[in-house]
Amino acid sequence: MTSASTATNITWHDGHVTPKERAQLLKQKGLTIWFTGLSASGKSTIASALEQHLLHKGVNAYRLDGDNIRFGLNKNLGFSPEDRTENIRRIAEVSKLFADSATVAITSFISPYRADRDSARKLHADASIPFIEVYADVPVSVAEERDPKGLYKKARTGEIKEFTGISAPYEAPENPEIHIRTDLVSIAEAVQQITAFIEKFK
């Protein structure tokens, strides 16, 4: 799997609406909130609550969930290191498009490799779109104890190969914008912390 473009005879076509004009017309600025963390770290739970909270505040937000994306856009990808990288490359592009449309894009992906998350960040930076990395941090022992999908149990028995945190690596963020110990704070507290942080981007 390669991220290099193989298309030929293509030209980028700018529209008539500038990002600034779009933000003024829709009365909000777009950005991407990128959740990363182990399976069962609470990423999707907090992301779902955040999406609901923002929508109830009148903020246009949309959540892109790791499992959900693999039912459609990325259903041809497995969990090899190469496929994981391509999975994140695609979702980075999609979240950038959502954010460019003046939507708050909320992504919830394990995204285990630091280099892939850095690439997603650079993609947004090159487009002058805010990228907020949220590290849903939890000890592996706690995530394994939660194990709502029974994945850790399957990984321990060898039924699932290349499982992040057990038989595949997870490279924790070094300088995330937001670091949440999800075993120490409530969902509501996590949502409040993220909401307060993004106020500066209004």
* Annotated catalytic residue 41: no
Cβ atoms of 128 and 86 closer than 8 Å: no
How far apart are alpha carbons 188 and 80 in whole angstroms?
A: 35
Strand partners of residue 104: 31, 61
Q: Which of 82, 51, 47, 50 is nearest to 66 (CA)?
A: 47
Could you identify the residue written with the tokens 């990128």?
34
Residue 32 near residue 96 (C-beta atoms within 8 A): yes
Residues 6+ apart with CB under 8 A from 27: none
Query: Exactly one of 41, 111, 128, 186 is catalytic; which is it?
Result: 111
Query: Beta-strand (E) ranges in the chain?
Result: 31-36, 61-65, 104-108, 131-137, 178-181
115 class by beta-carbon count within 10 Å (0-12 exposed, 13-18 middle, 19+ buried)? exposed
Tokens at 116, concatenated: 């892939």
The residues annotated with a catalytic role in the active site are: 111
